Amino acid sequence: MQSFLQIFFWIPLVGVVLNSILPAKNEGALSKAAFTIVGLQLLSIVIFSGFWIYRGFPTLNTRDISLFRAENYVFFIDFYFDKITAVYLLVGAFITFLVTTYSRFYMHREIGFKRFFNTILLFYLGYNLTIISGNLETLFIGWEILGISSFLLIAFYRHRYLPVKNAVKVFSIYRIGDVGLILAMWATHHFWHENITFLKLNNYELVHAKLQAHSLVGVFISIMILMAAAAKSAQLPFSSWLPRAMEGPTPSSAIFYGSLSVHIGVFLLLRTFAFWEHQLSVRILIGILGLCTSIVAGGIARVQSSVKSQIAYASISQIGLIFIEVAAGFENLALIHFAGNAFLRTYQLLVSPSVVSYLIRQQFYNFVPRPLTLEDSLPRKIENSFYILCLKEWNLDSLVYRLYWKPFKSIGRRLDFLTVKQVILFMVPIYLIGLYLVYNKEMIPEPILEYMPFVFAFIGLLLVLKSFAEKKNAMLGWILVNMNHFWVALAIAFNDNFDYNQVYFYLSGIVICGTIGLFTLRQLKHHVKEIGLDHYHGHGYKHPRLALLFLLACLGVTGFPITPTFIGEDLMFSHIHYDQVVLAFFISLSFIIDGLSIIRIYARLFMGPHVESPYEMAYKSS
């Protein structure tokens, strides 16, 4: 049975490739291909699950292939199947089949018909890979695919202002979850001295012995996992991104933000439950987070004027309750709650356009006064204050911006004196000096050598902060982001004695994709003369091939699993010592900001309303 687990990965992958080569004008072939692939996947999961139940619910684990092997480090693909996998696969397959069938008619004659189905199949590939993953490395591949497909679906109407702006905003929150997972992987490498599998995590004696000896490291890993889960499942303080994600088509909202993608955080907690099960402080923290989210999101949902926003916040509230159930150890209840919430929100989102038209009539002809609720028993001041806070969505959006993004942008703007010429004149010689010192470490006194990784990592962080705040020159922003990876590699090279071929492996994807991106920007500048980042230009409207090429370059530089950089980032973290938390913080923060900076460059240049468009645009959402 274990060998059949690969089928759940290969079927969606074949669907992505098949739909990519079909002609865009043939709607029938595109929809039938997607319908057939998803239907075949549903059928295979039902048959496999039935046979699995007949065999007595065995836990299946298979190590498929090693993608990279070095001393004390192996990056391998591992597949795992248990009742959590079975429930998530069955619910995901049925909902995707339902939404695909619905989309065949809903998206009829839409300009991006092919692009929509390609992105849905890409999402489904990432979802399946995440669910059947047997270790954090395999899960992270699917996690990244989910992130980029989310961005593409929210920005499906890519020539409008609000969908693109909200897509970038959602991607910024996803990057926090990405780095939480990267730091958890880094800590587990030092905790276990291997890439631990979920099968081994279920070994109580092994986990308990490790936690007894390294309790603080265990708490750190658990908090990083919680941060990733909270960002992905829109828990506090990241709840505001979910209603912003409703800018995409209704079917994508149903499959992504009503049912499947938003429950991946719950899946991550369920999958790692055996690790933090005996950490009481972590369980209390998860329970409190879920309770606060449920109360806040429930109140916000009740005052929303948009039906999609109501459903989004209601879903967040229910996921908060599922977090409490997971923290309390009610695994079966959490799985049942997940399935019920996913089906309900999918149904609500798919029928929301019809419901709105029905309610418009009812409010005139069947008015019913509001019944008394729990809030009416509270003092009037408290009730009104709670109402105003919910109406303003507790200012979660501005709170995250002020506490998280604004300080970074202000630091980057203080580096406005940097130009392309100055970067080349000053940064390149300093880098070459650092490179010389790497190969001649004996020249550096031991106390100074200890601080060299921190210095170079901090310089790389400053460069990427400048790129993040850059408004005038897209070329400069792109160069700075690529340089950051070279500074990270240099910092790690000072940190440990290891084969430098690993550094070259990491930088190979950066060099290739960075060069492609630079070539694309030069070509674009040849056509349009001005490529600033102060507003959205929408050049993808007239230059779709350059837009696609630059998007691929962006994915390669951000560590998407299409280049060695994806494995290289994890490989670089494996050479950060367990007591170098500051260095891990510098590098992880630089990875967060460089992903945002790159997506921002792509969105500002190739998405949004075209600069020559005579039509007015909406700058605020309802």
pLDDT, tens digit (0-9, with 9 covering 90-100), for 391-417: 888 888 888 888 777 888 888 888 877
Q: How far apart are CA 440 and CA 149, in angstroms?
A: 45
Tokens 């003092």 belong to 379
Q: Provide the pLDDT for residue 4.
A: 83
β-bridge mates for residue 69, sequence order: 74
Instruction: Spell 200-222 as b/e; 16+ CB within 10 A means b.
Output: ebbeeeebeebbeebeebbbbbb
- Asked whether residue 379 carries a pLDDT value surpassing 90, the answer given is no
Answer yes or no: are the C-beta atoms of 518 and 573 closer than 8 Å. Answer: no
- Asked whether residue 365 carries a pLDDT value surpassing 70, the answer given is no
Q: Residue 412: how many CA atoms within 13 Å on its side-chain side? A: 24
Answer yes or no: are the C-beta atoms of 183 and 224 closer than 8 Å. Answer: yes
Helix (H) or strand (E) holding 606: helix 581-606
- Asked whether residue 145 carries a pLDDT value surpassing 80, the answer given is yes
CA distances 177 to 31, 234, 282, 575, Å, are: 33, 10, 18, 22
541 secondary structure, DSSP code? G
The CA angle 440-489-450, to the nearest 5 degrees, is 55
Q: Provide the pLDDT for residue 622.
A: 47
pLDDT, tens digit (0-9, with 9 covering 90-100), for 40-81: 999 999 999 999 998 888 888 888 788 888 777 788 888 999
Query: Average pLDDT of 217-230?
Result: 91
Answer yes or no: are the C-beta atoms of 496 and 454 closer than 8 Å. Answer: no
375 secondary structure, DSSP code? G
For the chain, how are helix, strand and coil distributed in percent, rounded to 5?
A: 75, 5, 20
pLDDT, tens digit (0-9, with 9 covering 90-100), for 93-117: 999 999 898 888 888 888 888 888 8
Does the CA dihedral 587-591-592-593 come out positive or negative?
positive
The domain spans of the chain are: 2-361, 414-606
Query: In terms of pLDDT, which residue wins out, 443 or 264?
Result: 264
